[in-house]
Amino acid sequence: MAGNSSRRGAIKKTGKGNPTAGSGGRVRRGLEGKGPTPKAEDRPYHKAHKQAKRAEKSLAGRPRKSKPGSDQEWIAGRNSVVEALRAGLPVTAIYVAEGAERDGRLREVFGEAAEKGLSLLEVPRVELDRMTHGAVHQGLAARVPPYEYADPMDLLDLAAANREPALVVALDSVTDPRNLGAVVRSAAGFGAHGVVVPERRAAGMTASAWKTSAGAAARVPVAQVVNLTRQLKAYQDAGCTVVGLAADGDVALPDLEVDGPLVIVVGSEGKGLSRLVAETCDQLVSIPMASSLESLNAGVAASVALYAVAQRRAAPGA
């Protein structure tokens, strides 16, 4: 019958004899609810899925690289790791390079790890190089959460708690983390209450800074601020004298008054202090030196200034 070709669910044959399923009846109901085709790696029988599973299995248990901006940081170097453990930093794991020399520092780290129940993992040296992004780790590194910066005003509270006149070092556009680490180390050695760094276009407390500080960053707080000029003004409002180190300063370092709370601002090598920071300082102070040498790097300049202040404050009758 001619009407049979229009029945619901009927299969229409093409001129070549190949059957084509219609969109109605059982065929349409059978296609409902299946959704889009899964990706290749999500299909258990597919080659891509099997390759992904093999890759996951081979990576299981291997240390993962800490990417920039991730929730982990690295402390590299034997002194740095020892100081971090002594200071009670929240170390999450310790990595030792295969074949690393077992000296007194390494044995102390092993003892601390056992006492505190920390993970202690031995990995190939090339793997430790990769995880610490090429830092000079001396065969030892520790993984810690990101550095927690202090509030800049807390540095004044620390000085008050110690019943000491505040001594703070602020860095203006110092971008080399090794310079920051050197400044932190000098701050610890000469009794400063903390270091302040800008949030942008400046070095932060990275593994390299930790390494250079030789672990002093575990004892000296570092504060990070959005606007350095604004923070210097806040320190002035709190009673601090803000002095900037500059080659053309109108006061020589030996003549600087150091009795009250003091903030020493150190600029970058070459450019020195930025214009706004220099204008905010109460005084610009120069370090007397041979004319044949134009400038000192930030770490050395801060060390010289801190030493001079410490000596003056420790002098009889000061």
Calculate the alpha carbon distances from 23 to 7, 13, 47, 247, 282 in Å: 13, 14, 32, 86, 85
Instruction: Count CA atoms within 13 Å of residue 235 on its CB side.
Output: 34
What mean pLDDT is reported for the chain?
80
User: 33 is written with which tokens?
Assistant: 């609810």
Q: Which residue has the tokens 């404050």?
A: 313
pTM over 0.75: no
pLDDT in tens, 281-310: 999 999 988 765 667 889 999 999 999 999
Instruction: Provide Rg for the chain, Cα atoms.
Output: 32
Q: Band of the pLDDT at 260, cuts 50, 70, 90? A: very high
d(CA 124, CA 95): 10
pLDDT in tens, 34-56: 555 665 556 666 555 555 554 34
Q: Is 203 left (phi over 0), alpha (psi -120 to 50) or beta?
A: beta
Calculate the alpha carbon distances from 168 to 42, 63, 101, 194, 223 in Å: 57, 39, 39, 5, 10
* DSSP per-residue codes, 125-192: HHHHHHHTTT---TTEEEEEPPP-PBPTTHHHHHHHHTTS--EEEEEES---HHHHHHHHHHHHHTT-
Q: Which residue has the higher pLDDT, 248 or 95?
A: 95
Contact by Cβ (8 Å): 198, 225: yes
pLDDT in tens, 5-31: 444 444 344 444 444 444 455 545 554
Over residues 69-88, the mean pLDDT reads: 79
d(CA 177, CA 35): 54
Give the helix, strand, coil percentages of the chain, each rounded to 5.
40, 20, 45
